[in-house]
Structure 1
Amino acid sequence: MYRKTYFCVCEGQQEEMYLKRVAFLLKKFPERVVTFNTACGLPEKLKKNYTEYDNAALFDYDFKDTEFRHNINICEQLQRKSRRKNGKNVYHAYSNANIDLWFILHKEDFNRPVAANDAYIADVRRIYGFNQEADIKEKTNLERILKQITLEDVRNAIRRADQIRAGKLESDCFMVSTVTCYGNPDFSLHEFLKIVLRDCGEL
C-alpha cells in the first residue's frame, strides 16, 4: 500500500487545481493514494511550515526577474536546512513564462520564446476547445481544461519539458544560487512531477 503526501505552496488557483487533478489521476484506492496539501502563497510561506512532508513551491516567472530569483533562493535555502534537520526535501517547481505553457505541453509541442504573459492564451483556448473570448483562469473553465488532462498527458508534458531543456545552449543559461535556469520556455515544475510519478511507480 502506497501513501504519500506533499505540502505545496501555490502561487495561484491554476497550480492548486492542477495538483488536485494529478492526485486524482494517480489515485488507485486502496493501493495508492498521493495527496497534495496546498496553500496559496509564495515560497516564503514554507518557512512557517512544520509538516513532516516533502515540500514544493509552485510559481511562475511572469517576467518578474527579481521576484523569480528570490523565490528560487528561498527554496534552495530551505532545502539545505530541511535536509540537514529532518531529511525532507523542498522543491522549487516553476514555469517560465507561466503555467499556461505547461497546459499546452500536455497536448502539443511548444518551444518558442514569448515576450508577454498573455502570449499562450490563444493556444490554450484552441487546444482545449474554448472560444476566443473565454477566460481560461476562471474556475469552471479551468475545471474544463483539467478534465481533459490524462496521466499520459502529464507524462507527455514532462517529456516535452525535458526536450525543451535538452535543446538549450549552455551559453543561454543563468545561475540562481546553484540552480541552472534558462529564458522561456523553461521549467522546474516537470522535475518535481517526475519525482512524484517515479516515487509511485508511474514513470
Structure 2
Amino acid sequence: MMKLYRKRYHCICEGQQEEMYLAHVGRLLTDRPRCVVTFTTERGSPASLERAARYGEYDVVALFDHDGNHARFEENVKVCEELDRKGGKGRNRQRVFHAYSNMNFDLWLVLHKIEFTRPVHSNDAYVPVVRGVFGLEPEANIKSRHHMEKILAQISLDDVRAAITRADNIRARKLPDDGRKIGS
C-alpha cells in the first residue's frame, strides 16, 4: 500500500501574485490521491518569518523576488538561513525555506509554458511575454486579481513540473562565475 504524504507549509509572500499562485498549487495538489499538502499564506517580507513560529506544525517558506534590489535580496536570503538554523535539530524541527525568482515572479509564470533564456535588464521586461504566453490583451495588468485568475486557470500540475524542469535547466547552463554566492 502506498504511504500517505502529508506536508504543511506556511508561506510568507511579497505580493498578491505569489499568494494566489501558492493557493492555486495547493488546490492542484489536493486532487492528487495519497498526497495532502497544505499551504497557508500571508503577505509580508522574510523578516516577518520570526512571527511565523506560531505555525509550529508547519514548515515555513518565504517567497520573494530579486526586483533589481540586490541588497534587500541578499538580506532576505540571510534572514531565511538564520531562521532555519534557529529551527532546531532532528526530524521534527521546523524548517525555514526560501524561494525566489531570477528578477521577479513573472519569469516563473513564463516558465510554466515555455523555455525562456533571453537576458532581461528591467523589472518589467517579462510582462509582454506573460501576456503573450497566457493569451492576455496587450495592455493587461498581469498583477491584477482578474488577470492572475486567467493565468492560473491555464496552469496545471504538469505545467508546474515543467516550470521546475525549465528553471533547473537555466540554473545548470549558468557559468559558475555567472553569479555571486549569497548565504551558506
The code of the aligned residue for 1:83 comes to G
Counterpart Cα distance in 2 of 1:2 and 1:109: 30
Does 2:14 correspond to 1:16? no
Counterpart Cα distance in 1 of 2:182 and 2:99: 14
| Percent identity of paired positions between Structure 1 and Structure 2 | 51
Aligned pair partner of 1:133 in 133, 139, 153: 139
SS in 2 for 1:123: helix
Q: Deviations over 1:160-195 (max 9, x none)?
A: 0000000011111211121xxxxxxxxxxxxxxxxx
Structure 2's unaligned 5+ residue stretches are: none
Superposed CA RMSD in Å reads 1.5
Counterpart Cα distance in 2 of 1:17 and 1:99: 12
The code of the aligned residue for 1:149 comes to I
The code of the aligned residue for 1:59 comes to F
CA displacement at 1:29 relative to structure 2: 7.4
Structure 1's unaligned 5+ residue stretches are: 179-203
Q: For residue 88 of structure 2, what is the aligned residue in structure 1?
A: 83
1:169-184 correspondence to structure 2 within 5 Å: 169-178=175-184
Counterpart Cα distance in 2 of 1:173 and 1:121: 24
Runs ≥4 in structure 1, deviation > 4 angstroms?
none
Output the TM-score relative to the length of structure 1.
Answer: 0.84
Q: For residue 152 of structure 2, what is the aligned residue in structure 1?
A: 146
The code of the aligned residue for 1:6 comes to Y
Aligned residue pair count: 178
Q: For residue 78 of structure 2, what is the aligned residue in structure 1?
A: 73
Aligned pair partner of 1:46 in 49, 61, 65: 49
CA displacement at 1:131 relative to structure 2: 1.1
Q: For residue 188 of structure 1, what is the aligned residue in structure 2?
A: none
Aligned pair partner of 2:31 in 25, 28, 32: 28
Query: Taking structure 1 as reference, are residues 29 and 123 closer, same or farther at Cα in structure 2, changes over 3 Å only?
Result: closer
SS in 1 for 2:137: coil
Counterpart Cα distance in 2 of 1:30 and 1:154: 17
Output the TM-score relative to the length of structure 2.
Answer: 0.92
Q: For residue 96 of structure 1, what is the aligned residue in structure 2?
A: 102
The code of the aligned residue for 1:135 comes to N
Q: Deviations over 1:92-142 (max 9, x none)?
A: 100120000000000000012211011001110011111111111110110
Q: Deviations over 1:34-73 (max 9, x none)?
A: 1111110000111112212111100000000110000000
SS in 2 for 1:26: helix
Query: Taking structure 1 as reference, are residues 116 and 2 closer, same or farther at Cα in structure 2, changes over 3 Å only?
Result: same
